[in-house]
Structure 1
Amino acid sequence: MTTVDSAVLVEREAGIARITLARPDRRNALGVGDFADLHRALAEIAASAEDRAVILTGSGRAFCAGADLSDVVPDAATAAIMRPINEAVRALHRLPQPCIAAVNGPAVGAGMSLALGCDLVIAADTASFAQIFVKRALSPDTGSSWLLPRLVGLHTAKRLALLGDLITAEQARDLGLVTEIVPADTLLDTAADYARRLAAGPPIALALTKQLLNAAFTTGFDDALDAETAANAVNVGTADMAEAFAAFREKRTPEFRGR
């Protein structure tokens, strides 16, 4: 286990990096310094060829209760406070490896943003979600205003953000925010199963696929075709593609190495 200072723990096993938000006494609410540590952990994972898939989860009964700003100096500039927070969110969005949120309990405010910033969201039946910002007299941050309309449509995003109501895991799944709901005691095993499948995949193709899909709502169709062509020009030159075709011919499981 690699321990990153404060509330961010990173464990590695068989190509899977598991990040645990570890402030259970505060329902894993993250201080500004904790977000900086999360950014460093994500940057380290992004640069590692050994880390092939990522799981993000919380300790105790909550996933993440959002940002903990209790230790922020009252007259501190908002931009200065948000800079390290946004850097962590940006690093999660740009992470080349596929990332799974294993949502074990409430994911509210910035915690909901972190969950939705992952590529797959596996929720325990005890999980819940809320855009709680408005109930704190705040507007959405940590990427929620960008993520929500793309995931659920504009009017549903407005309902979630303007009312700030807590929704269940089942309601989140019905809206398309959750990939799968499982019993709480099988959450990490289920997330690990997904992570193993992703870790066994071709890293370069997976990273390029994430880039293409993340750009889908801001890219015109013709530009998307060009980007797909450019991505596959890279893929065609990889040893992983040669391995994929060889494995198909030989009727065996391919072994991808990320090159």
Structure 2
Amino acid sequence: MRRAPIIAVVLALAVPSLARADIQPHKAIYDLVDEDGAATGGRVEYEILGNACDGWAVLQKIDIPKAGARVVTTNASWEAADGSAMRFHETTERDGQTVSRFRGQAASGSNGFAVFTDGEGGESFGQLPQGTLLPTLQTKTLLTQAKRDRSVLSSNKVFLGTSSEGALPLEITSVLSPRASTPGDHPELDGQPSWNVTSSFYEAGGRPDTGPDYTVRSIQFGNGVVQSMEITREGATARARLRSLDLYEVVECNR
């Protein structure tokens, strides 16, 4: 199974549908940077639209230089506001030529399942264990706890709808701790609560006693915006920094 860009996984978990409609529809653009903060030529675009009635539509586009080529992965998804179901579609291109694509759907609950269909028509099916969370519900749970308790330690099975885990959930352990605002925060985020988030990801069949498959450190704001992230896997670290942010009007839920 092809591994999805890990930054896509991070952003998939950064799409809260909070009970008090705290989510802010927005478009964020991130630069991929080195350890000194210098841009490396890669870019991530992330856009979320929707509300707490109709669910959330997310478009992610990751553009990275790789071995002299441009590799662009585009993922579009929709998730029900209550986290009960999702649909997703992903395409990867190399210098404008499609190299892979897949689509699928998933549902949580007592009869949870996930289905992947690749570009050749091949299909994979998996049962999702009772208690498996979809991305919005996972983040909703974490941030709701963080707003109540300030600090959070949580472990959940989560299905993300990326090719990294196929039709199986990941085990994700997350620690959230409150942070104070800093002069480097984006001005559009002034007044928003924020947390330092460290998440450890264990792929299906992995052994927690051997350590996580990868670790993500990010700064998460209460309106759903991720300001920065750092992803470590197999000794290598990737970093993304918020370059621009457009906050959209909140569409109220009247049901």
Is the TM value for this pair above 0.5?
no
Greater strand percent: which structure?
2
For Structure 1 versus Structure 2, the TM-score category normalised by the shorter chain is: under 0.3
Structure with greater Cα Rg = 1
Greater helix percent: which structure?
1
Greater RCO (Cα-Cα under 8 Å, separation 6 or more): 2
Query: Structure 1-normalised TM-score?
Result: 0.26
